[in-house]
Amino acid sequence: MRFDIVTLFPDMLRPFFSQGILLGAQEKGLIEVHLHDLRVFSPDPRGLVDDRPFGGGAGMVMRPEPFARAVAAIAREIGTKPYVVLLSAQGVLFNQEWAKRFARERALLLLCGRYEGVDERVLSFCDLELSIGDFVLAGGELAAAIVVETTARMVPGVVGRYASVATDSFYAGPRLGFPQYTRPRVFQGLPVPEALLSGDHERIRRFREKEAWKKTLRHRPDLLGLRWENDEGEAHPR
């Protein structure tokens, strides 16, 4: 699978993709990651990519032409139209299901905004506007890194044992993963649950399933259509 990222700061992302499983996946030829400097595609001889907003207001807005040129150039290089995503705090919320969907694409092109935002007309040549959460970053670079890593893990062979991916939080639906334990058997007076030491695979499966739902209820009741309503931490239907 091929990932392309268009950004004002490609050097910010290079170290992230040069380590760990993402580096290994590139060395195995399972994924490609290409970083593109948006300024290269600017129609301005000085490489400017932003301008003052129509209607007034603080800050600068990123112009649509550099992004359009970047998308066209990358599509020509690939030989087909990639799935184009604008990373924006105004987009739909990224989750594991989107990562699974992206992993079925041959090529994913991520556009990183900056400043006060991106000209709305950029969306005319995007397939999706995507947000990683209800907060605002200085730019889309961290969001792009998150999307690439999450999606790459869905590509067979990137993670050593794909079975471990299937037990991740959110993979099988709106539920967190089960708690994990390793040596020592007792740490500061806290023992490993006896069920995990039993050798009974069915008992272990049931224990993990139960604990996963308990953790989801405790930390993310919103996934179950619940919300906290009192100081005792009791969950109630919405």
Instruction: Express each pLDDT in 93-110 by its tens digit.
Output: 999 999 999 999 999 999
Q: Both 125 and 79 in a single domain? A: yes
Domain span including residue 79:
2-152
Q: Both 110 and 78 in a single domain? A: yes
Under a CB-based contact definition with an 8 Å cutoff, are residues 14 and 44 in contact?
no
Structural domain contains residue 80: yes
Q: Both 148 and 180 in a single domain? A: no
**pTM exceeds 0.95 for this model:** no
Q: What is the pLDDT of residue 81?
A: 95
Q: How many domains does the chain have?
A: 2
Q: What is the pLDDT of residue 235?
A: 61
Structural domain contains residue 159: no
Residues 6+ apart with CB under 8 A from 190: none
Q: Both 11 and 115 in a single domain? A: yes
For 19, 24, 35, 110, 216, the CA distances from 15, given in Å and listed in that order, are 7, 14, 12, 18, 33
8-17, 90-99, 202-211, 218-227: lowest mean pLDDT where? 218-227
In the structure encoding, which two tokens stand for residue 38, read together?
């948006």
Q: Both 138 and 182 in a single domain? A: no
In the structure encoding, which two tokens stand for residue 217, read together?
């209820």
Residue 236 pLDDT greater than 90, yes or no: no
Q: Both 193 and 116 in a single domain? A: no
If pLDDT is split at 50, 70 and 90, which confidence band does 185 have?
Answer: very high
Q: Both 92 and 199 in a single domain? A: no
Structural domain contains residue 118: yes
Q: What is the pLDDT of residue 169?
A: 58
- Please, what is the average pLDDT of the chain? 91
Give residue-wise pLDDT tens across range 188-219.
Answer: 999 999 999 999 999 999 999 999 999 989 99
- C-alpha closest to that of 150 among 8, 9, 21, 4: 21
Q: Both 30 and 88 in a single domain? A: yes
Give residue-wise pLDDT tens across range 59-84.
Answer: 999 999 999 999 999 999 999 999 99
Structural domain contains residue 157: no
If pLDDT is split at 50, 70 and 90, which confidence band does 115 have?
Answer: confident
CATH number at residue 196: 1.10.1270.20
- Average pLDDT estimate for 179-194: 94
